[in-house]
């Protein structure tokens, strides 16, 4: 579909667009296509976050600024955080699939885990053993069954170290490896993730991560919780 073609060409990946429809739709069958919201869905102010799971600045913001924002505004019902995927590369795209595979209730704990362990999985090298492990797990075959080309499967194998690290982290978080593999081969889910990125670019002009949208205003970079709090207070004051 258009979003996949645009994403893949813009990041110089070899996964070509216009592919055959996937034969597996694990995410759709298990209800994973839901917007992920931290806080009260009816909170008066929405903080829309566009982040890539391989983005170091995004990881820093989640570790250093989100706790204060959560304590003062999200937990008190003044604001809600809506997370929108904006993967900047293949590793981030696959990591997003694993996070969504965790389900609605576990999504944000998984997100925290992936950001905290970012260097472990995003920077994982790919060895021959990693490739063999991925082949034995059957993920390349799932991609082939879903209509992916040999070049696309090669791109998957080039990040086998990252994929194995993601599956291991997910298992530590309670997600069975077979479920992770199904999500990583579910192109309905992967395309849905890219739709969020496409929305960010087309609707809000997002070009980098992290980017936040508060009351229609685009805020780029890792803004402090104090700065964001002032903007939330201003929105609340306007009623």
The whole-angstrom separation of Cα 102 and Cα 81 is 18
Q: Is the dihedral angle over the CA atoms 93, 111, 124, 134 positive or is it negative?
A: negative
Give the CATH number, domain containing residue 84: 3.40.30.10
**What are 81's strand-pairing partners?**
38, 47
Q: Over the stretch 143-188, which tens digit does the pLDDT of each residue have?
A: 999 999 999 999 999 999 999 999 999 998 899 999 999 999 999 8
What's the predicted TM-score (pTM) here?
A: 0.87
The number of folded domains in the chain is: 1
Q: What is the DSSP annotation of 128-143?
A: HHHHHHHHHHTHHHHH
On whether residue 227 sits in a domain, the answer given is yes
What percentage of residues in the chain have a pLDDT greater than 90?
76
According to the model, what pLDDT value does residue 33 have?
Answer: 66
On whether residue 219 sits in a domain, the answer given is yes
Q: Over the stretch 57-116, which tens digit does the pLDDT of each residue have?
A: 999 999 999 999 999 999 999 999 999 999 999 999 999 999 999 888 899 999 999 999
On whether residue 90 sits in a domain, the answer given is yes
List of residues 6+ apart from 118 with CB closer than 8 A = 53, 54, 56, 59
Q: Over the stretch 217-228, which tens digit does the pLDDT of each residue have?
A: 999 998 999 999
């Amino acid at each position: 579909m258009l979003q996949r073609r645009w994403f893949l060409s813009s990041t110089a990946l070899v996964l070509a667009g216009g592919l055959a429809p996937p034969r597996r739709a694990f995410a759709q069958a298990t209800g994973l296509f839901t917007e992920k919201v931290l806080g009260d869905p009816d909170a008066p102010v929405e903080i829309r976050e566009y982040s890539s799971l391989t983005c170091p600045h995004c990881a820093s913001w989640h570790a250093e600024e989100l706790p204060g924002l959560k304590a003062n505004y999200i937990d008190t019902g003044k604001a809600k955080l809506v997370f929108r995927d904006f993967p900047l590369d293949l590793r981030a795209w696959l990591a997003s699939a694993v996070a969504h595979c965790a389900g609605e209730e576990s999504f944000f704990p998984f997100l925290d885990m992936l950001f905290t362990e970012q260097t472990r999985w995003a920077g994982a090298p790919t060895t021959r053993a990693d490739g063999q492990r991925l082949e034995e797990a059957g993920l390349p075959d799932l991609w082939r069954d879903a209509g992916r080309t040999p070049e696309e499967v090669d791109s998957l194998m080039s990040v086998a170290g990252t994929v194995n690290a993601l599956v291991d982290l997910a298992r530590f978080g309670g997600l069975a490896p077979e479920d992770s593999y199904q999500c990583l081969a579910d192109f309905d889910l992967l395309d849905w993730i890219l739709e969020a990125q496409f929305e960010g670019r087309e609707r809000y002009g997002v070009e980098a991560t992290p980017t936040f949208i508060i009351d229609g205003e685009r805020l780029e970079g890792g803004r402090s919780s104090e700065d964001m709090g002032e903007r939330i207070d201003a929105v609340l004051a306007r009623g």
